[in-house]
Amino acid sequence: MNWLLILLQTGLSEAALRFGCATVSSQRLDPLVEPGKIPSSHVHQIVGGNAFNATMTGDIGEQATCTTCVYTEDFSNYWTAVLYFRHENGSYKRVPQYPNAQLGYEGRDDPTIKGGMTIYYTEKDFQSDGDDYITAFKPGFRMTVGSPTVTNLSEAQRYPGLRYTCLQDILTRGHETYALPSQPCPAGIMAIHHFMSCWDGVNLDSPDHQAHMHNVKAPGEGGFTNAAACPASHPVKVPQLAYETMWNTSAFADMWPADGSQPFVWSFMDDKGYGTHADYVFGWKGDSLQRALNSSCMFHGCGSPGMPGVLKTQPVADMNRCAVENTVTEDTEGWLSELPGQQMK
Ligand SMILES: *[C@@H]1O[C@H](CO)[C@@H](O)[C@H](O)[C@H]1NC(C)=O
Ligand SMILES: *[C@@H]1O[C@H](CO)[C@@H](O)[C@H](O)[C@H]1NC(C)=O
Ligand SMILES: *[C@@H]1O[C@H](CO)[C@@H](O)[C@H](O)[C@H]1NC(C)=O
Ligand SMILES: *[C@@H]1O[C@H](CO)[C@@H](O)[C@H](O)[C@H]1NC(C)=O
Ligand SMILES: *[C@@H]1O[C@H](CO)[C@@H](O)[C@H](O)[C@H]1NC(C)=O
C-alpha cells in the first residue's frame, strides 16, 4: 500500500513535513560523536545549514547563513554514513545519491536537487488520529539513532526504524529489511532512518546521544507504523524525524560479483548494513518549526517553491548553491584502494 494514500485517508489534524535537502558537504567530520576530530573515523554525507563543522555548539539556527533544504528557516544538519560499492578487484567507489520522487513542484522547470536526502517531521506515525500535541526540538538539541558497532540482526532490532528498501522503481515502498538487500535493485537502495520520538524534556543531548530519547516502536514494526504513548521517563512527544536516502546503484549494475555476494558497504566497513545510523542537530530559526507543527499543513501544503504555505521556501538552484568547504581534503569519490579511515579487514 502506498504510504501517501494511507496519509490522505487518515486525515491528520497536525502537520506532516516532507521536503528535499541537497548535499551541503561530504567528508570525514562528525561534530556530534567525534567533536573536534579532524578527520573523524568515517565518511559522512550531510545536508542542511552551512554552520556544519568539526565542532558545533550553541544555536546553529543563528550561525548558518544558507541551507540546502527547501525551507529557508531550517538550518539544521542531518547526516548519515556514505554507501560504497566494493568491486571484486578490491577497489571501492562511492555510490551517488539521487533525489526522491515528488519533491519538486509539478509544472516548474527547476534544476534537479543535488544528491541529498528527503526529510520528514511527522506526528508519532502516519496512522494515528493526529490529536497529540507535538513539541518542536529546542536550540542546541541533538541526537543519533543506530550505531556503527551493531553487527547482527538481534542488535539491529533495537532500532526498528532503521531499514532498507530495494527499489524496483523510485516509488517502491514497504518490503523493508534490516540488512542491505541481497539482490540487485533496479532503482537503487533506499536507506531509511527514523529517530526516536519521545524526549525526556530536559536534556539537549546525552553522553551516548540517545539516552535523552525513547523509542516507542517494537521490533517488527516499520518506521511509519503506529506507536504507543510516550512513557513517564520521556514524556514529551517531539516530531517523528525521518530521513530517506536514495542510493543510485545503477553504475554498478554490470559489476555484481560472480560469487553472488552483495557488494555494497557503508563507509564504516559494514557490508551487512546492521550498523546503519544517523545524526541530527536541530537548527530551525526561531519558532518556525513549532509554527509549522501547530498548523495542519501536509507536505507541499506546508510550502513549496511556487506554492505559498506556513513555511518560507527557496528555489532548487539556491538549495544547490549552499555548500560547506571541506575541512578534510582527501579523495572520497574516485576508485579507492581502501575506505577513508578504515583499516583493511
Ligand atoms: C571550521 O572550523 C575550522 C577550525 O576548526 C575553521 O578554520 C573553519 O573556518 C571552519 N569552517 C567553516 C566553514 O566555518
Ligand atoms: C577495479 O575495477 C575498477 C572498475 O573497472 C577500476 O576502475 C579499478 O581501477 C580496478 N582496481 C584495481 C585495483 O584493479
Ligand atoms: C549480537 O551482538 C551482540 C553485541 O556484540 C552480542 O552480545 C550478541 O551475542 C550477538 N548476538 C548474536 C545472535 O550473535
Ligand atoms: C543513476 O545513475 C546513472 C548513471 O549510472 C544515471 O544515468 C541516472 O540518470 C541516475 N539516476 C538518477 C535518478 O539520478
Ligand atoms: C503552538 O501551539 C501552542 C499550544 O496551542 C501555543 O502555546 C504556542 O504558542 C504555539 N506556537 C506557535 C509558534 O505557534
- Which of 284, 273, 219 lies closest to 245 in space, CA to CA? 273
| d(C-alpha 200, C-alpha 138), whole Å | 12
In a domain, 326, yes or no: no
| d(C-alpha 180, C-alpha 265), whole Å | 9
The pLDDT of residue 306: 78
The pLDDT of residue 73: 98
Q: Which domain holds residue 254?
A: 3-321
* Cα-trace Rg, the chain: 19
| Minimal-distance CA residue to ligand 1 atom 2 | 53
For residue 31, say if its preceding peptide bond is cis, omega within 30 degrees of 0: no
Under DSSP, the state recorded for 100 is P
Alpha carbon 103 to its chain's center: 15
Q: Is 88 in the pocket of ligand 2 (CB under 6 A)?
A: no
Q: Is 291 in the pocket of ligand 5 (CB under 6 A)?
A: yes
In a domain, 231, yes or no: yes
The pLDDT of residue 223: 59
- Which of 171, 159, 314 lies closest to 242 in space, CA to CA? 159
Quote the ligand 1 centre to 140 CA distance (angstroms).
19
Residues 6 or more apart whose Cβ sits within 8 Å of residue 235: 198, 200, 201
Q: Which atom of ligand 5 is nearest to the CA of 293?
A: 1
In a domain, 327, yes or no: no
In a domain, 76, yes or no: yes
CB atoms inside a 10 Å sphere around CB 64: 22
Residues 6 or more apart whose Cβ sits within 8 Å of residue 308: none
Helix, strand, or coil here: 301?
helix
C-alpha cell belonging to residue 260: 553472488
Tally of domains in the chain: 1
In a domain, 344, yes or no: no
Q: Are 303 and 127 in contact (CB under 8 A)?
A: no
Under DSSP, the state recorded for 139 is T
C-alpha distances out from residue 39 to 34, 79, 106, 284, Å: 9, 16, 41, 27
Q: Are 204 and 183 in contact (CB under 8 A)?
A: no
Under DSSP, the state recorded for 317 is H
Which ligand has the shortest distance to the CA of 65?
1
Quote the ligand 1 centre to 76 CA distance (angstroms).
17
Q: Hey, which of 84, 91, 92 would you mutate to test ligand 2's pocket, going by the most ligand atoms within 8 Å of its Cβ?
A: 91
Q: Is 93 in the pocket of ligand 2 (CB under 6 A)?
A: no
259-274 pLDDT per residue, tens: 999 999 999 999 999 9
In a domain, 140, yes or no: yes
104-143 pLDDT per residue, tens: 776 677 789 999 999 999 874 544 545 678 899 999 999 9
**Number of helices and strands in the chain (H, E):** 4, 17
In a domain, 328, yes or no: no
The pLDDT of residue 126: 47
C-alpha distances out from residue 61 to 58, 86, 105, 118, Å: 9, 38, 26, 20
Q: With a cut of 70, which residues of the chain have pLDDT below it?
A: 1-14, 106-107, 124-131, 217-227, 344-345
Which ligand has the shortest distance to the CA of 51?
1
